[in-house]
Structure 1
C-alpha cells in the first residue's frame, strides 16, 4: 500500500501514471491484475486508501497523470489525519480535491442511476466516470484511451478550398491545426495526394462549380480512410447538403462566427488525433507501430524531397531476445523492450520518427541526416543501451545489446526500399557477431 505522499511512488520505467484512491480490500484483490494490464499499456498505478496521502500525491503529480477515485470507498476512507475512520461525505471529498485537476470516478450501478449525482460529479472537475463492476482489462483500456485523448497530439493538417477570410488560421495553428490554402478545384486531388492532409474543407461555391471533387478524392487508392472531407456552407441548403453527402462528403459544416468555426474544427482535429493514435501507436510503448510508421515515413520522404534534405533510416533489433525471454521470463523481456524504447526516445529530435516495428525490433528515422551522421547517432544509442544495468536477480546484474542496420535517402527512394536496405544491413550485423551497426561508420563517411 502506498502511504508516502512524495514522488517515490513513481516508477521511472513507465511513461504515464495513475493515482487510484480506493478501498483496501479492492486494492488487495485487484492490485496484481490491474498492474499486469497497466504495464502492458506503459503506465503504472499507485494505490491509496487515505485521502490526505492521495491529495498530497496529486500536489506532486505531473501534467499527464490520471487521478481515479472509487466512490464506493467513501464509507471506509480516512477523512482526517487521525487514525479513526468515519463515513466521508461526497461533498467533503470534492472540497478536499485540488480544483486544478480533473478526476475519473468509479461508481456502482446504483450510484450511476442517480442523475443528480452524475450532474454533481460532472460539474466537479470530472474527466470521466465509469460504472462498476468493470473488468480490470476494460478499465485499463479506458484509462489508456484517456491518456491518448489528453495528449497535445500531432499537428493536424487541413487543406482549404474556398474564401481565405473564412478561417482564423492563427487561432487554429495555436491548437496545432495547420491550414494550407489551395485555389484550384481541378488540381486539389494532386495537392491532397502530395500533402496527405487530415481534413479537406471545401466551400459551397467551389463544390457547386466542381461537384465531382469529393468522388475524385475518395476513389484514389492511396486515400486515407481517416481523412474527413467537409463542406462549408454560408447558408443552409438542404438540397446541396444531400447531393454533397451522396457524392462522398463526410460532413456539412455551417459557416458561423470565426471563433465558433475554430472550435468546431479543433474538436474534429482532436477526434482525428485520437483515432490516428489508436490505429498508429504501439500501446505497450506509446511509439509508432508499423502502420503509423509507414504513413509518417512516406510523408517525411515527400517533405525531404521538397526541402532537398537527406534522411537516415535505421532498423535495430535486441540481440538474443529469445534467450532473454526463455531465461528470465516474458515480463522481464517486456522491461528490456521498454528500457530500449526510452533510450531511443530520449535521443530523437522533433522531426525524427521512432517506431516499435514489431516485437523487439525498432525503426528510427533521422531528419536532415547524412549517412555518416546517421551511423554516429545509431551507434551512440547502441552504446547507451549497452551501458544500462539490468538486475535479473539479487546481486546478478546483466547488460544487453542490440544490432542495427542503416539506409539513407535519397540513395533509397521509397519507404519500402529504405526498410529493405536497412533490414539487410541488420542481418549483416547479426551475422558479423551482433552488437554493431552495419554498414560500419567508415563505409558511410
Structure 2
C-alpha cells in the first residue's frame, strides 16, 4: 500500500535473539497492526542504540534479556556474552525500557531492583503469548499519552490545593459552596472525582446517596471524603453511605499528589474503556459520553454543533476481494485521513466496523457538510496498492445533522444515519444533509 503518510505513527523497537524474531515476527506484527502500531526488530546492540537515539518520541523500547547471551562484548573479545551492566551503560539514559526476562531471572530480586533503578518502564516474564505481550504494550502506549482532562469538583472549605499546578497536570479543579445544589452541578459538569469535606458531610449526610442514586450517575465516578482529623465513627458512616474512599487533608501537597495519581488511573481506565484499540479513536461508549458533554457545553454557550456519520463504501467487497487484513488497513488509513481535519474541541470516533462519527464544535449544518466533504475528497485521493502495480481508490458516504435542531446525542445520530442511508441509496461517495439544506456534491 502506498500513501502520503506512514501507516503507523507508533512503533515498538524490539532487541531480541535471532530465533525469537524468526519464530515470532509474523504473529507479533499481525497483532501489533490490529492495535495500530508497528514493531521494528533488532538483533544488534549498535543498531538498536542508534534507533533509540533517533526516535521522534512515538516508540516503546523492548529488550529481551536473553539476547545478552548472544551479543559479544566489544570490551573483552574473549568473552562471548554482553553483561547487563554494559547494556545499561550503552542505553540512552533519557529513555525508558521494557525488559523481557525468564521466570528464573524474575525470581532474582536484586536483578529486578537493578532494572527498575535503571530507566525501567516495565518488565515482563517469558514465556508470554504474543497477543498478551502486544496487549500489554498497547496499555503502555495508552499510559504514556498526555490524556484527557480529568475534572474534579470540591465541596467544602479551603483545601489549600493549587489549581494552577493541578491544571498543568491535566486536572481541572472546580469549587462548589452549596451542598444542596451539588447534585445539580455534578449533573451539569459530569466530573470524574467529587471531593466532599468532612464538615460538609456532617452537615448533610444524605449528600452522597443523592449523588449516587440518580439513574444517570456515572458508575465509575469517585466520591471521596476529605478528613481533617481522624474520626473512625465518621469514616465508617461515610463508607456505608457510599463514599469510595477517605483521604486526609492535613498536607495540601500530599493531597495534590494523591489526586494526580487518581486522575492518572482514571485517565488510563477511560482510555481503555472508551477508545477503539485498532485506531486509538473514541469507541461507541467513549463517543456517547463525550458527545453528551459537548451538547451540554453547546447549550450553555449557545453554540451550534454538526454531527456526521460516515461509512466506507462497498467495504464487504473490499474484505471479500483482498481479505480482512487489507480491510483493516483501509480502516486505519481512513482514521489517519480524518484526524487532521479534527479541531481541539471536535470529536472523532470509530463507531463500529467501517462506520465513523465526527462531531464539529461551533459548526453549522452548512459548515459541517463542507468539512465532511473535504474529508471525503481527501480519502478518495489516497491510492491503495492491492497488489504490486495495482492501485485502487476507495470512498465513503456520509450524513450530517445539526444541533440545536436535534437536541440529544441519540437524535443527532439517528438523523445523520438516515442521511447516510440516503447517500448510499443515491449512489455513494457523497455527503447528504437535511433536505432543506442539501448541497450539490461530487458524484451525485
Q: Which TM-score tier does this pair reach, normalised by the shorter chain?
A: over 0.9
Q: Is the 8 A contact 1:51 1:79 kept in 2?
A: no
How much does 1:239 deviate? 1.2
Decide which moves more: 72-81 or 124-133: 72-81
**Partner residue, 1:143:** 137
How much does 1:16 deviate? 1.4
**Partner residue, 1:273:** 267
Q: Is the 8 A contact 2:416 2:433 kept in 1?
A: no
- Alpha-carbon RMSD: 1.7
Distance in 2 separating the partners of 1:415 and 1:148: 27
How much does 1:441 deviate? 10
Distance in 2 separating the partners of 1:93 and 1:372: 59
Distance in 1 separating the partners of 2:294 and 2:406: 14
Distance in 2 separating the partners of 1:18 and 1:84: 33
How much does 1:442 deviate? 8.4
| Pairing partner for 2:180 from 175, 186, 191 | 186
How much does 1:78 deviate? 4.6
For residues 32 and 84 of structure 1, do their structure 2 counterparts lie closer, same or farther at Cα, with a shift above 3 Å needed?
farther
**Partner residue, 1:336:** 330
For residues 399 and 84 of structure 1, do their structure 2 counterparts lie closer, same or farther at Cα, with a shift above 3 Å needed?
farther
| Pairing partner for 1:72 from 59, 66, 77 | 66
How much does 1:436 deviate? 0.2
**Partner residue, 1:360:** 354
1:410 lines up with 2:404 in the alignment: yes
**Partner residue, 2:395:** 401
Q: Secondary structure at the match of 2:247?
A: strand
Q: Secondary structure at the match of 2:243?
A: coil
Counting only pairs closer than 5 Å after superposition, residues 49-198 of structure 1 correspond to structure 2 as: 49-80=43-74, 86-198=80-192
Q: Secondary structure at the match of 1:346?
A: helix
| Pairing partner for 1:390 from 373, 384, 397 | 384
How much does 1:302 deviate? 0.1
Gaps in structure 2 of 5+ consecutive residues: 440-444
Decide which moves more: 161-170 or 377-386: 161-170
Matched length: 435
For residues 260 and 444 of structure 1, do their structure 2 counterparts lie closer, same or farther at Cα, with a shift above 3 Å needed?
farther
Distance in 1 separating the partners of 2:296 and 2:438: 23
Q: Is the 8 A contact 1:160 1:182 kept in 2?
A: yes
How much does 1:165 deviate? 4.2
Q: How big is each residue's C-alpha offset from its partner over 1:280-328, in whole Å with a ceiling of 9 and x where there is no partner?
A: 0000000000000000000000000000000000000000000000000
TM-score computed with the length of structure 2 as normaliser: 0.96
Q: Secondary structure at the match of 1:13?
A: coil
Distance in 1 separating the partners of 2:414 and 2:128: 44
Distance in 2 separating the partners of 1:14 and 1:81: 37
Distance in 1 separating the partners of 2:178 and 2:292: 25
| Pairing partner for 2:214 from 210, 217, 220 | 220
Q: Is the 8 A contact 1:382 1:436 kept in 2?
A: yes
Gaps in structure 1 of 5+ consecutive residues: 1-10
How much does 1:166 deviate? 2.8
How much does 1:81 deviate? 11
1:29 lines up with 2:23 in the alignment: yes
**Partner residue, 2:307:** 313
Q: Secondary structure at the match of 1:88?
A: coil
Q: Is the 8 A contact 1:159 1:181 kept in 2?
A: yes
Distance in 2 separating the partners of 1:441 and 1:80: 74
For residues 247 and 313 of structure 1, do their structure 2 counterparts lie closer, same or farther at Cα, with a shift above 3 Å needed?
same
Q: Is the 8 A contact 1:105 1:129 kept in 2?
A: yes
Q: Is the 8 A contact 1:202 1:232 kept in 2?
A: yes
Q: Secondary structure at the match of 1:221?
A: coil
Distance in 1 separating the partners of 2:74 and 2:339: 42
* Higher RCO (C-alpha 8 Å, min separation 6): 2
Distance in 2 separating the partners of 1:243 and 1:223: 21
How much does 1:80 deviate? 4.3
